[in-house]
Chain A
Amino acid sequence: MGVPITYNIRNLVERKATTLMTAVGIGLTVAVLVTALSLVAGLKSVFAGSGDPKQVLVLRKGVDAELSSTVTGEAYQIIRRMPGIATTAAHEPMVSPEGLTVINLPSVDSPAGMNVTVRGLLPIGLAMRTIQIQQGQMFQPGLRQVVVGDSVARRYPDARIGRQIRFGKGLWDVVGVFKAGDSAAGSEIWAGLDQLRGDFEQQGGSNSLLVRLNSASQIPEFSKAIADDQRLGTSVIGEKAYYASMTSSGAPLEVLGFAVAIIMAVGSAFAATNTMYAAVARRSREIGTLRAIGFGRWSILQSFMLESIFLALIGGVLGVLITLPINGLTTGVGSFSTFSEVAFRFKVGFWAIAGGLAFAVLIGAMGGFLPAWAASKKGIIAAMREG
């Protein structure tokens, strides 16, 4: 039979100050881990929300990022006529040539400047995307106008509606803010492709083609057709897969966060051990009594382990509470494949919280084991004499 858990809870309450100090220490450790987990969750959801399973990107062969890719005008004309491509109501094939450039603007996080992707689109490219204009209006093709993603509008003071941005051959008016759900598009600036091409003297070519197929199952067949056509010099990657590969841009912060949390956990586990040893020492007589009235060594071990885990769990809950305010906060990381920033929100979701609490249990178990072991090893008579 086990020692009732209320015994442990009462003991934790009895030593309020010690319990709280140990728990807050563990809580801060858990908070660091939950922050790292919610960062990764937020970044993942941005990239998971990007791309359409039926769409593929056509890039130059051997290139894995839009920015370093070029697709010629001839290739575009050939690909447009390939079978399997979805069409609009007006029977226009859904093939969108896209031009990319990167501009540097001061952001709220780095006043010295951070890179933002500017994407040039034709009307078909806009038609293939689901966005809402939140403020202002869509750019007019042929005018020096841009619309900015909602994250860009929030994070870059120079890219707010009504302002002008300088790149290419001069100034561009910011005429609208668009919302693209939780996707990478929210971190982009969009302009008319022809206007953008004119500024960068690229005749006819583009960086990439975004193609929508009739169904996702056609992707392998389409990829093969593109790869087999020697004239094109291009290759195909699924749009979903393309964005999924970018999740690694959060890796430096993620690794740093995990490393810090683990080192802190070692420190917190030592502290928990200390607290539990003190608890065992103070309650030596009680342990002797418990043994005398029939509780076995195993029950004592279990009881102190539970107490330690419970103590750590209090810390875990505190840690989660500390991190709750960061839920939904926007931050950004740079991606070396787009060479620009992608904004995302921290997501203190189920897995981040569960991960944090599990981490707390682990700290409690590691910290509590030795003291619990020592408690269970005490002889009845010796324990009664102590203290």
Chain B
Amino acid sequence: MVRLASLIFRNVFRNRRRSLLTLASTAVSLALLSLLLALYQGFFYGDDVSPSQALRMVTRHRVSLTQSLPASHQPRIAQVPGVAKLSAWSWFQGVYKEPKNFFARFAVDPDTIFDIHQDWIVPHDQLEAFKRDRTGCAIGQKIADDYKIKLGDRVTIVGDIYPVTLELKVDAIYQHPPQTECLVFHREYLTELLPKTYTSRDSVGTYLILAQTADQVPGISRAIDTMFDNSPYPTRTESEKEFGRSFLAFLGNIKLFLAAVCAAVTFTILLVSANTVSMAVRERTRETAILRTLGFTPAEILQMVVGESMLISLSGGIIGIGIGWLLATGLTVVAGGFGFRGLKWQAGLVVLVMAILVGFLASLVPAVIASRKNVVESLRFTG
């Protein structure tokens, strides 16, 4: 094989235009493949984003997320062994100035929320100010940047689900690398604003829980759900990651879609590469025969063709993974909420293996044909 290496290289660089076009075609397709695989991995096999995410759990009403739970669940959940911290986590929704200004707004327990969201980094004095201020709120840096909100500013959120208007003061701005767009405020403030006759005045959307250790998570989940099995408000408790994943179903049957497109892309690359190899082999029919007369064995001819194809597809793979990595990093901004964190090495490795495999498989048939060709007939070939 080593002896053939220089011949393989020369062949690759001989018809530069063709090699380049094939390289470009495989690189583009493999970039797409790495992007799709990255999405698949991020959505369905994503790791925990941070150590504290592995500890976080969400309890919701078993029937659906839109149904609320009573505040009386809180002390009972707090007593479950393994529960370290607990906070209300009620989706307020509402409108900030205009409906298109969309970011999450939650009513929470100010004393515990930053203990549970350990990955939200906030200066100590700001946190204390937020805890003390009944009408205070804390926002992510991205919200502050997007809407040009400074510490101390007033923020008005007009309720839609809840018939109230929140007049909040920004006491804290937290840093969070995946750029969560989330505003949190005191749940007590919401309860006070709601009219006494409001039926779900004393209810909570979901509870956010921090477990003491990650291996306690499944046990806590079971303990909470069993406890409320016969309650009029049964619960479902999941890890934060599973909870986030349940929103994936909103995108439709994304699993099937991604799998189908991956298959289509792979097959296309296979066809493109096979086409290139057969074109090259066909053009070199005479030359291959001359090599045979010079003493090259059919096995060596086969190796040369396969080697050339694999070299091109491997290079295409490496370039493709590079482009795919860039695209995936860009996509993190959009799909970050679903646990997508760019191209991981596992997906990259799969693409690389695919590239090698495609190069090999695509060249197999043309290579066998080339190596078996009758020498005399080939020498006569004029095409």
Interface residues of A (CB under 8 A from B): 17-18, 21-22, 24-25, 28-29, 31-32, 60, 62-64, 67-70, 101-104, 107, 109-110, 112-115, 166-169, 201-202, 249-250, 252-253, 256-257, 260, 263-264, 266-268, 270-271, 273-275, 277-278, 281-282, 331-336, 339, 341
Contacts and interface: CB of A to CB of B under 8 A. Distances in A.
B383 A282 contact: yes
16 contacts: A18-B275, A21-B272, A25-B275, A101-B67, A102-B66, A112-B249, A167-B67, A202-B199, A252-B251, A260-B36, A267-B268, A270-B272, A271-B271, A274-B279, A278-B18, A331-B252
A331 B161 CA distance: 29
B150 to A, nearest CB: 26
Contacts of A22: 271-272, 275
A334 B250 contact: yes
A355 B254 CA distance: 23
A18 B160 contact: no
A68 B160 contact: yes
Contacts of A266: 28
Contacts of A270: 21-22, 24-25, 28, 272
Q: How large is the interface on B (under 10, 10 to 19, 20 to 34, 35 or more residues)?
A: 35 or more
Given A17-B278, A274-B21, A25 B251 contact: no
B29 A267 contact: yes
Given A266-B28, A267-B272, A268-B268, A278 B251 contact: no
Given A266-B28, A278-B279, A115 B64 contact: yes
Nearest to A251: B251
Contacts of A115: 64-66
A21 to B, nearest CB: 4
Interface string B312-331: 00000000000000000000
B58 to A, nearest CB: 14
A70 B199 CA distance: 12
Contacts of B265: 28, 260, 264
Contact of B28 (A70, A249, A263, A331): A263
Interface string B263-302: 0110111011011101100010000000000000000000
Given A28-B268, A264-B265, A109 B249 contact: yes
A292 to B, nearest CB: 20
A195 B47 CA distance: 44
Nearest to B95: A62
Contacts of B245: 112
A-B pairs, top 10 by smallest CB distance, nearest first, are A334-B250, A270-B25, A333-B252, A110-B249, A104-B64, A271-B272, A21-B275, A267-B29, A267-B28, A102-B66
B99 interface: yes
Nearest to B238: A112
Nearest to B63: A167
B64 A70 contact: no
Contact of A18 (B24, B251, B278): B278
Contacts of B123: none
B63 A274 contact: no
B48 to A, nearest CB: 19
Contacts of B204: none
B85 to A, nearest CB: 26
A282 B251 CA distance: 49
Contacts of A101: 64, 66-67
A143 B25 CA distance: 63
B272 to A, nearest CB: 4
A56 B274 CA distance: 59
Contacts of B126: none
Interface string B6-47: 000000000001100110111011011000100000000000
B158 A62 contact: yes
A174 to B, nearest CB: 16
Given A70-B163, A267-B268, A270-B25, 15 more contacts: A18-B279, A21-B272, A62-B158, A103-B63, A104-B64, A109-B252, A252-B252, A263-B31, A264-B264, A267-B24, A267-B32, A274-B25, A274-B279, A277-B17, A332-B253
B25 A333 contact: no
A118 B265 CA distance: 40
B63 A104 contact: yes
Contacts of B32: 260, 263-264, 267
Nearest to A275: B275
B240 to A, nearest CB: 15
Contact of A29 (B249, B268, B276): B268
B261 interface: yes
A64 B66 contact: no
A11 B1 CA distance: 37
Contacts of B253: 109-110, 331-332
A366 to B, nearest CB: 12
Contacts of B283: 278, 281
Contacts of A166: 63
A264 B268 contact: yes
B179 interface: no
Nearest to A109: B253
Interface string B161-183: 10100000000000000000000
Contacts of B163: 60, 70
B79 interface: no
B271 A332 contact: no
B267 A28 contact: yes
Contacts of B51: none
B261 A32 contact: yes
A381 B18 CA distance: 25
Given A270-B21, A277-B17, A113 B271 contact: no
B232 interface: yes
A68 B64 contact: no
B258 to A, nearest CB: 8
Contacts of B267: 24, 28
Contacts of B246: 112-113
B269 A267 contact: yes
Given A256-B257, A274-B21, A63 B272 contact: no
